[in-house]
Structure 1
Amino acid sequence: MSLDPQTKMILEFFAAAGAPPLEALAPEMARQAFALPQGDLEPVGRVENRTIPGPESEIPVRVYYPKEVQPYSPAIVYYHGGGWVVGNLDSHENICRALTNIANCVTISVDYRLAPEHKFPAAVYDCYAAVEYVYDHAEEFQVDQNRIAVGGDSAGGNLAAVITNMAKDKNKPAICFQLLLYPATNILGTPSASKVDNAEGYFLTQGTMEWFRDCYINAGEEDTPLLSPILYEDVRGLPPALVITAEYDPLRDEGEEYAKKLADAGVEVELTRYDGTIHGFISMAGVIGLGKAALEQSGTALKKSFNKQTIKK
């Protein structure tokens, strides 16, 4: 179908702005330039900035509490997108606040180490350490150990998928749900049709994806499931998932392929493709109505999953 009018307007705005592509900038400059139109930020109960122990250094996290927090609230540990190179606790505030309010849960946003200063697998280890710490210190966060989900968008969706598999393989922590928003699941594999068809003109370009990849991965790196979760051979027994993709997103096909892999293994999966829109549209929910609808769907799916779990007493 044709582009959604609001998505088309945003693409025209980006084109008229004439900003250089991220890959033309040094990583630090790219981080300063990376900004998506989030719109007004929703109020939540309270927000706390703190750190938790990481594999090599303290990991900054931002904790969003709902207005009616309970002693044992459900929680989602959220990993922001940005190609493992850009993005931070500020860039994805609208998503975290919306999920907190819609699902009435605690949201812990993780500021994992970024490439190229910290190449793969630094981000993976930080993200696993974060959810493990939340699980082991659930009462510290007023969180119910039985109702902890993980989620993320784009590179963060990649990390959420990887961490869910790691938790299964390590038998800890228990994760009750995975929220995968246009996830990158096949980093070094053969380019899919959507990567070819949507390589230019739809916000996330081939050049930017290649730059992200080269920043994140060492030259000659062998593809592994920790990079590309599509390579996990056995995904049976993983927690239920919501996978959201976008029609004009280069990552569309690999996200949908991963959802099919989960479903074929007997995992409960809801897959939704939002037609007419682009990669990152959920971060732009302030100006793209489809993004707001996807946030509502995500928060509702989280809440439904949390309500199925036995509440810790």
Structure 2
Amino acid sequence: MQADPFDPTRLAPDVLAVLARMAGTGAPALESLPITEMRMAYLQVGALLGGEPIPVGQTLDLQATGPGGPIPLRLYLPKTGIAPFPTTIYLHGGGWSLGDLDSHDKVCRRLVNTAGCAVVAVDYRLAPEHPAPAGPDDVVAAARWVAAQATALELDASRLAVAGDSAGGSLAAVVCQQLRGSEVTLRAQVLIYPATDLSPAGDAFDSRRKNGAVPPLTLEAMRAMVTPFLSGGFDTRDPRVSPRLAPDLRGLPPALIITAECDVVLDDGRLYRDALFTAGVPVEYIEYPGMVHGFIEMAGVLPATQTAMEQVAAFLSRHLDLATAGS
């Protein structure tokens, strides 16, 4: 598929200013870099655009038991509230090949302060070192571990949610599907511009063409990250990489899906919303006009980021009974 030419008039003015600032650095296109340099460049996005890190009550680095070895976690506790804390498990974006606990540290801190719940960030394995299904398997294992260790960590296992952005949004959907009917009860899922279909069907989505030339996540950049993730020959129709294609979506927790109008994966979020609705899953959908992929990491330069975080907080408050927790 060939992407349509980039039309800057479709973008919000503050987004255009951010993109101009990024272009002014003279940095090469993300997809042109080796994977190690791509990861470094991705970290710089949060450093440059994410604003100041917000203080929280406490942070604690932990390790969960995973199928490929220990999984690093970072626990964030709010400054106020009463233990045991309602908790959101957060899965970072980065196309299954980039990102870590530090790339989304500011996002998690903002979520803790805005929502008033604890947050557990998961540093799942990345491609190309660990192609599919390593990352999806890690996040499911991490969610099980958090639930099992909740009492020791002063977390409330009866009030758990999962959230993520981009690839992390996809992984959050995967966690909900994989743990449905298990000993782990998830009350809510927050999917921020999730990529929900990596199969050939997803390649044909209209937003892949219409928004494929819109930075920062162009179609070429998306391919540069997704290709290593699928390099092991894993079936692209497997729900662990394409959750939209799961044969049965009934009984999943209520969902909030946030998308960006000028995003290459806009249709992934829209169509997953439709699929959840058809399956009888309560779903709220918010599409941000003029926004681009990655805006949740740009709180320092885009007011829409905090607006989105407040909407996430309101959704979590309803489903995790945050007022009951005293947060």
1:127 aligns with 2:136: no
Instruction: Please state how far the C-alpha of 1:24 moved relative to its aligned partner.
Output: 1.6
Across the aligned residues of Structure 1 and Structure 2, the Cα RMSD in angstroms comes to 1.6
Instruction: Please state how far the C-alpha of 1:2 moved relative to its aligned partner.
Output: 3.4
Residues of 1 paired with 2:215 and 2:33: CA distance? Answer: 19
* Counterpart residue number, 1:116: 128
Instruction: Please state how far the C-alpha of 1:29 moved relative to its aligned partner.
Output: 1.6
Superposed counterparts of 1:16-35, under 5 Å: 16-34=24-42, 35=44
**CA offsets 1:114-135 (integer angstroms, 9 cap, x no match):** 1000010000111001110011
1:185 aligns with 2:199: no
1:63 aligns with 2:75: yes
Aligned counterpart in structure 2 of residue 159 of structure 1, from 158, 171, 183 = 171
* Counterpart residue number, 2:297: 283
* Counterpart residue number, 1:172: 183
Q: Percent identity?
A: 40
Instruction: Please state how far the C-alpha of 1:50 moved relative to its aligned partner.
Output: 2.0
* Counterpart residue number, 2:319: 305
AA aligned to 1:218 is S
Q: Secondary structure at the match of 1:53?
A: strand
Instruction: Please state how far the C-alpha of 1:21 moved relative to its aligned partner.
Output: 2.0
* Counterpart residue number, 1:10: 18
**CA offsets 1:161-197 (integer angstroms, 9 cap, x no match):** 01100001x5231111001000000112232111101
AA aligned to 1:256 is R
Instruction: Please state how far the C-alpha of 1:94 moved relative to its aligned partner.
Output: 2.0
AA aligned to 1:46 is Q
Instruction: Please state how far the C-alpha of 1:234 moved relative to its aligned partner.
Output: 1.0
1:73 aligns with 2:85: yes
Check whether the contact 1:147–1:309 (CA below 8 A) recurs between aligned residues. no
TM-score (norm 2): 0.91
Instruction: Please state how far the C-alpha of 1:308 moved relative to its aligned partner.
Output: 8.2
TM-score (norm 1): 0.95
Superposed counterparts of 1:237-248, under 5 Å: 237-248=251-262
Check whether the contact 1:77–1:150 (CA below 8 A) recurs between aligned residues. yes
Residues of 2 paired with 1:144 and 1:256: CA distance? Answer: 32
1:216 aligns with 2:223: no
In the superposition, relative to structure 1, how do residues 128 and 309 fare at CA in structure 2: closer, same or farther (>3 Å)?
farther
In the superposition, relative to structure 1, how do residues 206 and 2 fare at CA in structure 2: closer, same or farther (>3 Å)?
closer
**Ranges of 4+ aligned residues in structure 1 off by more than 3 Å:** 308-311
In the superposition, relative to structure 1, how do residues 107 and 140 fare at CA in structure 2: closer, same or farther (>3 Å)?
same
AA aligned to 2:220 is G
Does 193-202 or 124-133 show the bigger shift? 193-202
Instruction: Please state how far the C-alpha of 1:207 moved relative to its aligned partner.
Output: 0.8
Residues of 1 paired with 2:130 and 2:168: CA distance? Answer: 16
Check whether the contact 2:197–2:243 (CA below 8 A) recurs between aligned residues. yes
Does 196-205 or 16-25 show the bigger shift? 16-25
AA aligned to 2:52 is D
AA aligned to 2:197 is N
* Counterpart residue number, 2:150: 138
Residues of 2 paired with 1:2 and 1:120: CA distance? Answer: 35
Unmatched runs of 5 consecutive residues or more in structure 2: 1-8
AA aligned to 1:32 is M
Check whether the contact 2:117–2:322 (CA below 8 A) recurs between aligned residues. no
AA aligned to 1:114 is L
